[in-house]
Amino acid sequence: MAERCAVVGVGQTKHAAKRHDVSIAGLLREAAQRALEDAELDWPDVDAVVIGKAPDMFEGVMMPELYLAPALGAVGKPMIRVHTAGSVGGSTAIVAAHLVTSGVHQRVLTVAFEKQSDSDAMWALSVPQPFSAPLLAGAGGYFAPIIRAYMRRSGAPEDTGIKVAVKDRRQALKNPYAHLHQPDISYEKVRDSMMLWDPIRFEETCPSSDGAAALVLGDERVAASKGKPPAWVHGMAMRSEPTMFAGRDQVNPKAGRDCAADVYAQAGITDPRRQIDVAEVYVPFSWYEPMWLENLGFASEGEGWKLTDQGATALDGGDIPWNCSGGVLSSNPIGASGMLRFLEAAMQVRGQAGEHQVDGVRRALGHAYGGGSQFFSMWVLGTDKP
């Protein structure tokens, strides 16, 4: 019999291009300490620690959890290290949640991070592999043709991506932890920024960030003992598919659709646009908003860009606000980026998102993806005990 699981504490760092003021351990502790304080817990109260990050080459430390064990209070405890590419922040939270739903542990600390300034992600993403198609220009070079395919297929206007970037960067101004704060962000500024990987402009791409995110997950008894409201897990799932094979739809991947269908079925959601109040979705390049709107069932195929165009996804006046925190477009500590989506969903459900809080949130979606749009992890959190 599966136990219920809830988020009872959240913590994140101030994300920045270079956090030279802290070591890797210091970065993780900053987030973890805040999550524990939010959960009204101390280090010894934690039963197990689950950490996640993207490839070890991003920092140049092999299996850094070994070195991080004492800094995260894990000595004498179980510690697991998850790595599922860009979706890892989400997958890490799900692995941690299974430690609770299985009844194995009551209180689990989970932390995800990236300290990109310690290495060069563009290099680490582009190491040539025998018998594999070269990535060459990192993630942007990989995703640009897929975006171009979406534009052609949907007939979306050329500036949908610009509108997403302006919206997310404006919303980031309300999030004190966001890496990018651009008070002067405007349609013209995004439009006139350098073209990096056609059709992705400089201001339509995520930054390289140092940062960490942490969650404390608890079972029903732990959740009941806290003063602050818990964010209950209503559904969670992971899905993977191969990077490439003939006929694979990379624009609207089946793994993403299947993952969403699984989570919605668990959470009793049949109409996501109506039943989900706010979503934090992994949008590292602006055009992924309309693409994921379709993949996640908020719009029918070919219609996603219309929601963006109409302002439906804006914090200010939209009926289904996406990425009120500024999203991956405003902060991208890669390994943590997925967990930040999961964490922001929890903050919205718990009513602790401050200036970027949406009123009356009852259900929120957290989403992450990785690899060549092939690894997905998602959860739906809610105010009501499931």
Partner 1 sequence: MSPDSGGRRPVAVVSFAQSSQVRRQDHRNDVEMLMPVVEEVFSRIGVTKNDMGFVCSGSSDYLVGTPFSFVSALDAVGAWPPMRESHVEMDGAWALYEAWTMLVAGDADTALVYSFGRSSPGQLAKILTLQLDPYYLAPLWPDPTALAALQARALLDAGLAGEEDFAEVAARSRRQAMANPHAQLAFNRSVEELMKDDYVVAPLRRHTLPPITDGAAAVVLAAGARARDLCERPAWITGIDHRIETHALGARDLTDSPSTRLAAEGAALGNPPDVQVAELHAPYAHQELILRRALGLAPQVEVSPSGGALAANALMVAGLIRIGEAARRIMDGSASRALAHATSGPCLQQNLVCAMADSATGGER
Task: Please give the residue ranges that form the binding site for partner 1 (CB under 8 A).
Answer: 1-3, 23-24, 47, 55-70, 74-85, 91, 94-95, 98-99, 101-105, 124-125, 127, 129-132, 237-243, 245, 253-255, 258-259, 371, 374-375
In the complex, the smallest distance separating the C-beta of residue 106 from partner 1, rounded to whole angstroms, is 9
Sign, Cα dihedral of 335, 336, 339, 344? negative
- Chain center to CA of 175: 15
**In terms of CB distance, is 33 or 126 closer to partner 1?**
126
In the complex, the smallest distance separating the C-beta of residue 239 from partner 1, rounded to whole angstroms, is 5
Burial 187-215 (b: 16+ CB within 10 A, else e): eebbbeeeebbebbbebbbbbbbbbbbbb
**In terms of CB distance, is 75 or 224 closer to partner 1?**
75
In the complex, the smallest distance separating the C-beta of residue 178 from partner 1, rounded to whole angstroms, is 26
**In terms of CB distance, is 41 or 278 closer to partner 1?**
41
- By CB atoms closer than 10 A (0-12, 13-18, 19+), residue 153 is middle
Which of 108, 116, 115 lies closest to 35 in space, CA to CA?
108
Is residue 87 within 8 A of residue 116, CB to CB? The reply is no
In the complex, the smallest distance separating the C-beta of residue 167 from partner 1, rounded to whole angstroms, is 30
Which of 280, 258, 255 lies closest to 336 in space, CA to CA?
280
- CA-to-CA distance for 205 and 329, rounded, in angstroms? 6
**In terms of CB distance, is 159 or 249 closer to partner 1?**
249
**In terms of CB distance, is 172 or 238 closer to partner 1?**
238
- Chain center to CA of 339: 5
In the complex, the smallest distance separating the C-beta of residue 64 from partner 1, rounded to whole angstroms, is 8
Cβ atoms within 10 Å of 374's Cβ, excluding its own = 22
Opening angle at CA 376, ends 303 and 112, nearest 5: 125
In the complex, the smallest distance separating the C-beta of residue 1 from partner 1, rounded to whole angstroms, is 7
- Chain center to CA of 144: 20
**In terms of CB distance, is 103 or 145 closer to partner 1?**
103
Query: How much is the CA Rg of the chain, to the nearest whole Å?
Result: 19
In the complex, the smallest distance separating the C-beta of residue 244 from partner 1, rounded to whole angstroms, is 9
Cβ atoms within 10 Å of 352's Cβ, excluding its own = 14
**In terms of CB distance, is 98 or 191 closer to partner 1?**
98
In the complex, the smallest distance separating the C-beta of residue 72 from partner 1, rounded to whole angstroms, is 10
In the complex, the smallest distance separating the C-beta of residue 86 from partner 1, rounded to whole angstroms, is 10
In the complex, the smallest distance separating the C-beta of residue 70 from partner 1, rounded to whole angstroms, is 4
Kind plus residue range of the DSSP H or E element containing 30? helix 24-38
**In terms of CB distance, is 83 or 189 closer to partner 1?**
83
**In terms of CB distance, is 161 or 284 closer to partner 1?**
284
> At 374, which amino acid appears?
Q
Classified as helix, coil or strand, 212 is: strand
Cβ atoms within 10 Å of 268's Cβ, excluding its own = 13
**In terms of CB distance, is 108 or 151 closer to partner 1?**
108
Is residue 101 within 8 A of residue 2, CB to CB? The reply is yes
Alpha helices in 159-286 (DSSP H): 160-172, 187-191, 220-224, 254-267, 272-275
